[in-house]
Amino acid sequence: MRAAQPRSRQQTLALRRQLVGSSCKLFFSNNPVKIVKAKGQYMYDENGRQYLDCINNVAHVGHCHPDIVKAAHEQNQLLNTNSRYLHDNLVDYAERLSKTLPEKLCIFYFLNSGSEANDLALRLARQYTGHEDVIVLDHAYHGHLTSLIDISPYKFRNLEGQKEWVHVAPVPDTYRGLYREDHENSVTAYADEVKKIIEHAHKRGRKIAAFFAESLPSVGGQIIPPAGYFQKVAEHVHKAGGVFIADEIQVGFGRVGKHFWAFQLQGEDFIPDIVTMGKPIGNGHPLACVATTKEIAEAFAATGVEYFNTFGGNPVSCAVGLAVLDVIEKEHLQAHATEVGNFLMKILKEQQIKHPIIGDVRGCGLFIGVDLIKDQAERTPATAEAEDLVTRLKEKHILLSTDGPGRNVLKFKPPMCFNMEDAKFVVETIDKILTVKGRGEINFTRACLNSGNVELAFI
Closest CA relative to residue 292, chosen from 105, 101, 124, 117 = 105
If DSSP codes are grouped into helix, strand and coil, which group holds residue 37?
strand
CB atoms under 10 Å from CB of 457, counted, come to 15
How does strand 398-399 pair with strand 367-372?
A: unpaired
84 touches 109 (CB < 8 A): no
- Each residue of 216-263: pLDDT tens digit? 999 999 999 999 999 999 999 999 999 999 999 999 999 999 999 999
How does strand 367-372 pair with strand 358-364?
A: antiparallel
- Each residue of 371-405: pLDDT tens digit? 999 999 999 999 999 999 999 999 999 999 999 99
Phi, psi of 92 (to 5 degrees): -60, -40
Question: What is the pLDDT confidence band of residue 440, given thresholds at 50, 70 and 90?
Answer: low
Amino acid of residue 40: G
Which whole number is the average pLDDT over 15-22? 95
Question: What is the pLDDT confidence band of residue 309, given thresholds at 50, 70 and 90?
Answer: very high
Q: Give the pLDDT of residue 441.
A: 59
- Each residue of 40-74: pLDDT tens digit? 999 999 999 999 999 999 999 999 999 999 999 99
Closest CA relative to residue 242, chosen from 362, 134, 332 = 134
- Each residue of 135-150: pLDDT tens digit? 999 999 999 999 999 9
Q: Give the pLDDT of residue 156.
A: 86
Helix H or strand E segment including 109: strand 107-111
Q: Give the pLDDT of residue 448.
A: 46
CB-based contacts of 213, cutoff 8 Å, min separation 6: 136, 137, 140, 230, 245, 246, 247
Distance (Å) of CA 243 to CA 82, 99, 147, 212? 30, 22, 17, 9
Q: Give the pLDDT of residue 438.
A: 74
CB atoms under 10 Å from CB of 122, counted, come to 24
CB atoms under 10 Å from CB of 144, counted, come to 14
The CA distance from 442 to 140, in Å, is 38
Over 50: is that where the pLDDT of 458 sits?
no
Mean pLDDT (the chain) is: 94
Closest CA relative to residue 291, chosen from 105, 100, 102 = 105
CB atoms under 10 Å from CB of 204, counted, come to 8
Over 50: is that where the pLDDT of 457 sits?
no
How far is the first Cα of the chain from the last one, in angstroms, to the nearest whole number?
63
What crossing angle do the helices spanning 333-354 and 420-450 adopt, rounded to 10°?
20
Q: Give the pLDDT of residue 446.
A: 44
DSSP secondary structure of 292-307:
E-HHHHHHHHTT-PPP
Q: Give the pLDDT of residue 189.
A: 98
What crossing angle do the helices spanning 315-330 and 88-98 adopt, rounded to 10°?
40
124 touches 307 (CB < 8 A): no
Spell out the SS3 assignment of 126-147: HHHHCCCEEEEECCCCCCCCHH
